[in-house]
Amino acid sequence: MKFFVDTAEIDAIAELNDLGMVDGVTTNPSLIKKSGRDIIEVTKEICDLVDGPVSAEVTATDADTMIAEGRKLLEIADNIAVKVPLTWDGLKACKTLSDGGAMVNVTLCFSANQALLAAKAGATFISPFIGRLDDINLDGMDLIEDIRTIYDNYGFNTQILAASIRSVNHILDSARIGADVITAPPGVIKNMINHPLTDKGLDAFLKDIAAADIKIL
């Protein structure tokens, strides 16, 4: 499974990247706005930092302007994936950009039917939003499972990028089902290391070492 980091915070990306935990990054204008910096400048810095795909989102809603914005974003770096919404105009933009050789991340997916359309339009990534479905009392993991089944049935190359991840359990369940990629905030990824029995075992180990006065250096 690939790990994408859902942030525009350079330091947070760099920390995880140094550990080999970053296969790509997802950003959007809202995330970049929090940094108070120019969208092109921040995106370029992220692209220089990581080797994998960096999703940069268009701001337009009509196909022609999405395509124009997408082409502008593609000038930033070779590893840009243009992020478009799952609308008819978004699919038109996806088709045009992907036919031109660009990576396209189709976002705001909430149904398997939508995911099927995105795959047909040539999407590189489909981003189903798990947490937002959970928010309205639907099981977001059911959507991941449905998309996995459909894509496998017909051999679609579109990668399932599980998004709107709120917890480590979302990551675990996505891995079990077979999502190709997860994108999560840095804090959620770092929380994967936590387990009370690890903490308990380490505490006991340190007490034993101290009692035995063992030193390696």
Catalytic annotation present for 200: no
Give the tens place of pLDDT for each residue, 118-156.
Answer: 999 999 999 999 999 999 999 999 999 999 999 999 999
Q: Is residue 135 domain-resident?
A: yes
Residue from 9, 2, 119, 11 nearest 51 by CA: 2
In this prediction, residue 5 carries a pLDDT of 98
Q: Is residue 47 domain-resident?
A: yes
pLDDT of 92 over the 80 cut:
yes
What SS3 string covers 153-203? HHCCCCEEEEECCCCHHHHHHHHHHCCCEEEECHHHHHHCCCCHHHHHHHH
Q: CB count, 10 Å around CB of 180?
A: 17
Q: Is residue 70 domain-resident?
A: yes
> pTM of the entire structure?
0.94
pLDDT of 106 over the 90 cut:
yes
CATH of the domain at 43: 3.20.20.70
In this prediction, residue 38 carries a pLDDT of 86
Q: Whole-number mean pLDDT of the chain?
A: 95
Q: Is residue 200 domain-resident?
A: no
pLDDT band at 17 (very low <50, low <70, confident <90, very high): very high
Mean pLDDT of the 11-22 span: 97
Give the tens place of pLDDT for each residue, 147-196.
Answer: 999 999 999 999 999 999 999 999 999 999 999 999 999 999 999 999 99
Q: Give CA angle at 179 (171, 72), nearest 5°.
A: 100
Cα–Cα distances (Å) from 121 to 27, 85, 116, 130, 152, in that order, read: 22, 13, 9, 22, 17
Q: Is residue 127 domain-resident?
A: yes
pLDDT band at 35 (very low <50, low <70, confident <90, very high): confident
pLDDT of 51 over the 90 cut:
yes
Q: Is residue 195 domain-resident?
A: no
Mean pLDDT of the 36-50 span: 92
The count of domains in the chain is: 1
Above pLDDT 70, what percent of the chain?
A: 100
Of 83, 92, 95, 215, the catalytic one is: 83
Q: Is residue 208 domain-resident?
A: no
Q: Is residue 23 domain-resident?
A: yes
* Domain membership of residue 51 as a residue range: 2-187
pLDDT band at 28 (very low <50, low <70, confident <90, very high): confident
Mean pLDDT of the 33-47 span: 87
Mean pLDDT of the 72-84 span: 97
